[in-house]
């Protein structure tokens, strides 16, 4: 792949380690910063809390999943 410039692809465990160590904290920090900016701009009200009960349709059913023997 041209993005790797001839180097070996990163292992999935390295990506998972990165996500658990850094990504969760970074996302929480970004959410906090965005909430603060929206509050400062007067676009955020803390008076009401809305909870979404959105349901999404998935294209999976008992016939699309296949069990594999270990």
Using only the alpha carbons of the chain, give its radius of gyration.
Answer: 21
Q: Per-residue b/e over 5-39, b at no fewer than 16 CB within 10 Å? A: eeeeeeeeeeeeeeeeeeeeeeeeeeeeeeeeeee
What is the spatial distance between Cα 14 and Cα 9, in angstroms, rounded to a whole number? 10
pLDDT digits (tens, 9 = 90+) for 13-43: 888 888 888 888 888 899 999 999 999 999 9
Q: Who has greater pLDDT, 69 or 20?
A: 20
């Amino acid at each position: 792949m041209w993005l790797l410039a001839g180097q070996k692809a990163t292992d999935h465990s390295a990506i998972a380690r990165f996500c658990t160590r850094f990504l969760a904290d970074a996302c929480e920090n970004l959410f906090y910063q965005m909430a603060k900016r929206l509050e400062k701009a007067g676009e955020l009200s803390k008076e009401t809390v809305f909870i979404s009960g959105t349901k999404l349709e998935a294209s999976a059913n008992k016939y699309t999943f296949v069990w594999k023997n270990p």
